[in-house]
Chain A
Amino acid sequence: MRPKIAFHNVSKSFNLYKKQSDKLLEVISFKKNKDNFYALKNLSFEIYEGEAIGIVGLNGSGKSTLSNLLAQIIPPSSGTIQINGETSLIAISAGLNNQLSGIENIELKCLMHGLKKEEINRLKSDIVEFADIGKFIDQPVKSYSSGMKSRLGFAISIHTNPDILIVDEALSVGDQTFYEKCLVKINEFKSQGKTIIFISHSLSQIESFCDRVMWIHFGKIEIFAQTKEVIKEYKAFIKWFNKLTEQEKKKYRREKLDNQYKETNDMEKSFTSTRQVNRKMSKKKSSSFLTFQFTLLFLSVVLSASLMFGIQPVQSIGNYISSYIDKDQSAVKETLKEEESEFISKEINKEGIVFVEQAEIYGDTGLTNKISDMSFANNVSVEDQINEEIYKVKIDGVSGFTKMTNIKLIENELPVVQIGVTDFLPIFPEEFSNAFEYFFTFLNTESEEVKSKVRGLSNEETLNSGERILTYSVNDVQYKTDLEGITKSITVSNIDTDRDEWYRIKNNASLISNDSQSYLFKTNEFNIVVDQNNNTTTFSIVE
């Protein structure tokens, strides 16, 4: 028969620390603490399907450690454990959440065992019925008595349908009726061919249904045989032990415990066998491989961080690749070499003119920090080309960056056209054309004088730049002054650009914006800008 559980030379040691900080030191230095205590040593046994095994022993002999090893909660320090099947550990108040109610604990534990919602709903009533703790099932677990906790824990664990059930003193707190109920359930398990491991101090409980019993004595198996035989021996030992005086008992315990330490050190000395050395070597190898991976990753993080600080050539390669990402690979390779040496920045030093309705000027090359807007037909001096998209420009002594598409470089002077104010009369609104000569006389005048003579001022506003705007909305007129307060331009709004006359005029324009909505006419007297989007015409005096 195939064994359900097989232990082979299994040992479990614990490190003993004197202070909290010792724990941390071991973690950081990855050094092994020499102060080991062997809770279990060189255990070898096999357990078969359908068996009920009892485990007995004094307090501190390693029973709970063994049950944790069996439930695969902790790994062995050395040796191999083979377990075929799902295990479930029942201990007093095992893994119940004190804040949640009984019914919520049932749901949570079932969820954690990986059960589905329908399965849980099916099991819930069974578990509640089995635990039989009445109305307390809706109360938080912290208000439960220890008997209730163990009943609930037992009920949950047994219903998650394990192959191997480990009961760690969980039944000793239940009363006789619950105990009987559990016995029925455990026997049902046994008849289904499942394995039960039963840890208890109650010899009568163990005698009543265990097939074999293991007596653990200070970390070692004293006897592992048929129930009757072991119980007889164990009872004899207890009888002998109880006869000892308090001092003799203490002395006996201390001797045995000292052995558990001493053997530790003996074992470590004998570990110079070749097998052990090999294992240490491979451990060293894998840990140095880890260190290598870590160093590699760490260095690349540092490298990429330094890239962010803008080592120029590499950065521009990055920009370049991202903008050409969908282009032919070979083309990228070819031009990359040229770009690398050439594209730091290119000097231009030419006059340019804003070519779009409005150009955003930014304070940085990333075009994120906007400093101002320039409208169509404004002059800028273009200093450098920063990359394939951006110009560095200077306006009134302030440097900024803008997209190349916003600016048209002026190779030759723009053509001067022969056109006068009167040519625009047909498209002016009636309110303005009736008195246009009057309004034009106030160009190149102190704004205070304009204000005193022209009636109907609807709004006055000073811009950030210091220029002022006077608005006469009734007549569709706006004056704009320079910094000294002298009116320099006049803007007429509500013009009618659908008139045939306009179609004749606009073909003469000196400059047309890239969206064909703004037109510049350069004359000897005025720079005239017509904005079809806003239906305005602006006449600015030529200096």
Chain B
Amino acid sequence: MNHIWQVLKEQLFNFNLIIRLAFYEVKSKYKMHYLGAFWQILNPFILIGIYWFVFGLGIRGGSPVGETPFFLWLITALVPWFFISSTIIQGSSSIYTKVSLVSKMKFPVSVLPSIQIIANSFSFIFMLLFTIGVLLLNDVYSGLYILQLPYYLFSLYFLLFGLTILLSTITIIIRDIQSLVQSFMRVIMYMLPILWNVNTLPDLLVTILKLNPFFYIIEGFRHTLLGGEWFFNDLPQTLYFWLISILLLFIGSTVHLKFRHKFVDYI
């Protein structure tokens, strides 16, 4: 537990540094592109379009999910998922790609994953506001349920931090993790209720899918944006989510603190 505090304290003390470097990251990433940071928003729009076309019009034949039009149902989950998958993929290589930069100076390496998380947040927040706008235009109001948004955002960031600090550390030691994460994220996307409604499956299978902590997040965002349920309605899953998030952060921070002095050796 001490390790968790130590790593979290480093994030807090270096908060300004994280924000400034995140801004720099966004600015420099698309420097060579003519459309610049616009790509951060253009990319998800293209993907939303194709998923809506294939799964909404093609496979479902345009039928709504319950009473919600498929397009709205889709974007409430797809927008957080874009953020999750890009953050995990880039976050897990964040230390590896930067270690040559920081190896010759005193630098709190544990903030590198956070920088990636914050850098990706800019487009996420924009897309989230866009989603809420689209919902309002379609007269879909979630009412009081929107109050859950800070809770689910916090849960999301907590899980992402624990996971990226773990993955970024072991990527240094075992380079294969990076490739594994990339293909795994693609698989996981189809095991979540993003593109299709998993509730047609038997209960047991759905519960097995719910063991994926991102299931909780994705469903949560949908409940928040479309209205429907409070997060404490499913206490066992909430409990499970927080325990596994803390476990991931525990392993991540322990491994990180144990190996960070050796990062230079492993490159």
Contact = CB atoms under 8 A, between A and B. Distances in A.
A524 interface: no
Given A293-B250, A318-B235, A369-B200, A304 B240 contact: yes
Contacts of B243: 297, 300-301, 304
A397 interface: no
Interface string A105-122: 001110111101100000
Interface residues of B, number: 47
A417 interface: no
A111 B103 contact: no
Given A297-B247, A304-B236, A95 B105 contact: yes
Contact of A294 (B105, B230, B251): B251
Contact of A310 (B100, B173, B200, B207): B207
B151 interface: no
Interface string B119-159: 00000000000000000000000000000000000000000
A524 B14 CA distance: 81
Contacts of A87: 106
Contacts of B103: 73, 95
B254 A308 contact: no
Contact of B21 (A91, A112, A370): A112
A308 B210 contact: yes
Given A309-B207, A321-B235, A290 B254 contact: yes
Contact of A104 (B28, B204, B236): B28
Interface residues of A, number: 53
B199 interface: yes
A71 interface: yes
A309 B209 CA distance: 11
Interface string A282-326: 000000001001100110110011011110001100110110010
Contacts of B235: 318-319, 321-322
A267 interface: no
A75 interface: yes
A200 to B, nearest CB: 17
B250 A24 contact: no
Nearest to B111: A112
B176 to A, nearest CB: 10
Interface in B215-240: 230, 232-233, 235-237, 239-240
Interface string B2-35: 0000000000001011001100100010010000
Contact of B173 (A14, A23, A300): A23
A91 B104 contact: yes
A112 B207 contact: no
A308 B240 contact: yes
Given A24-B173, A290-B254, A305 B240 contact: yes
B236 A107 contact: no
B240 A114 contact: no
Interface stretch (B50-58, B83-91, B258-266): B258-266
A215 B250 CA distance: 45
Contacts of A301: 240, 243-244, 247
A74 interface: yes
B250 A297 contact: yes
A290 B236 CA distance: 26
A111 B264 contact: no
24 contacts: A14-B265, A23-B266, A27-B259, A71-B105, A72-B106, A91-B104, A95-B102, A95-B104, A100-B28, A104-B28, A108-B28, A114-B14, A116-B16, A290-B254, A300-B243, A301-B244, A305-B240, A307-B236, A310-B207, A314-B236, A319-B235, A322-B235, A364-B199, A370-B66
In the A-B complex, the 6 residue pairs with the smallest Cβ-Cβ separation, listed nearest first, are A307-B236, A318-B235, A304-B240, A94-B104, A95-B104, A304-B239
Given A113-B105, A369-B199, 10 more contacts: A24-B173, A73-B106, A88-B105, A104-B31, A112-B102, A117-B20, A301-B243, A301-B247, A304-B236, A308-B240
Interface of A: 14, 23-24, 27, 71-75, 86-89, 91, 94-97, 100, 104, 107-109, 111-114, 116-117, 290, 293-294, 297-298, 300-301, 304-305, 307-310, 314-315, 318-319, 321-322, 325, 364, 368-370
